[in-house]
């Protein structure tokens, strides 16, 4: 699959400029980032890691309810690791920023900077 561009097909003004909605570039990378951030547990884990508040999975588990602990260990941490956003040693439980963390960090910064404008159940 390649990058997709959705361009405006609206009307033009007298100079020939499009007056419809702006074009939007979508890529696999964008889809991967947005899919990752779509889940609250993953957003929280990444934000805490960005802030230096996470060193082990235990740092995340104590913040979770029992029913979400299994999802964190069996679903969310593996997805974050597969995406390259974290490095997770399952034996020791250590969690560090992964090789692709820089890819998602700008959006994490936007979430932090605009938290007052986001729905109340975010991050």
Instruction: Indicate whether 113 belongs to any domain.
Output: yes
Q: What is the mean pLDDT of residues 54-79?
A: 84
57 backbone φψ class: left, alpha, beta (φ>0; ψ -120 to 50): alpha
Number of domains forming the structure of the chain: 1
> pTM for the full model?
0.72
Instruction: Indicate whether 30 belongs to any domain.
Output: no
């361009």: which residue's tokens?
7
User: Domain containing 121: what range?
Assistant: 55-123
Instruction: Indicate whether 108 belongs to any domain.
Output: yes
69 falls in which pLDDT band (50, 70, 90)? Answer: confident
What's the pLDDT at 100?
96
Q: Are 8 and 23 in contact (CB under 8 A)?
A: yes
Nearest Cα to Cα of residue 32 among 54, 73, 56, 1: 1
Instruction: Indicate whether 50 belongs to any domain.
Output: no
Q: What is the mean pLDDT of residues 28-48?
A: 89
Q: What is the mean pLDDT of residues 52-58?
A: 91
State the Cα–Cα distance between residues 82 and 89, nearest whole angstrom: 13
Instruction: Indicate whether 109 belongs to any domain.
Output: yes
Q: Are 83 and 36 in contact (CB under 8 A)?
A: yes
Is pLDDT at 26 greater than 70 in this prediction?
no
What's the pLDDT at 7?
46
Q: What is the mean pLDDT of residues 31-50?
A: 90
Instruction: Indicate whether 36 belongs to any domain.
Output: no
């Amino acid at each position: 699959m390649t990058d997709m561009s959705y361009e405006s097909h609206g009307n033009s003004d007298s100079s020939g400029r499009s007056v419809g909605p702006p074009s939007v570039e979508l890529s696999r990378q964008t889809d991967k980032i947005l899919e990752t951030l779509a889940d609250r547990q993953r957003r929280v884990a990444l934000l805490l890691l960005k802030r230096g508040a996470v060193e082990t999975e235990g740092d995340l588990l104590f913040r979770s309810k029992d029913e979400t602990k299994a999802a964190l260990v069996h679903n969310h941490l593996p997805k974050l690791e597969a995406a390259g956003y974290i490095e997770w040693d399952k034996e020791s439980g250590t969690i560090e920023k992964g090789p692709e963390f820089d890819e998602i960090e700008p959006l994490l910064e936007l979430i932090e900077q605009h938290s007052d404008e986001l729905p109340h159940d975010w991050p």
